[in-house]
């Protein structure tokens, strides 16, 4: 039972990390466009 919770927690952390990286990349892209303008 503990193993399942452990795996679910890791999955959530991984998904959060991907979302954070994606949002940071998107924000960086927008800033890059702003600098170009």
How far apart CA 12 and CA 20 sit, in angstroms, is 12
The pLDDT of residue 4? 92
The total domain count for the chain is 1
Higher pLDDT, 37 or 12: 12
Bigger pLDDT: 26 vs 10: 10
Residue 16's domain comprises 1-37
Q: Each residue of 12-34: pLDDT tens digit? A: 999 999 999 988 888 877 777 66
Say whether pLDDT at 36 is over 70: no
Region 1-18: mean pLDDT is 93
Distance CA 27, CA 1 (A): 39
Give the pLDDT score at 6.
95
Strands (E), the chain: none
Burial of 1-37, coded b for 16+ CB within 10 Å and e otherwise, reads: eeeeeeeeeeeeeeeeeeeeeeeeeeeeeeeeeeeee
């Amino acid at each position: 039972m503990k193993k399942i919770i452990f795996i679910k927690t890791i999955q959530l952390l991984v998904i959060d990390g991907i979302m954070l990286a994606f949002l940071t990349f998107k924000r960086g892209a927008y800033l890059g466009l702003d600098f170009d303008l």
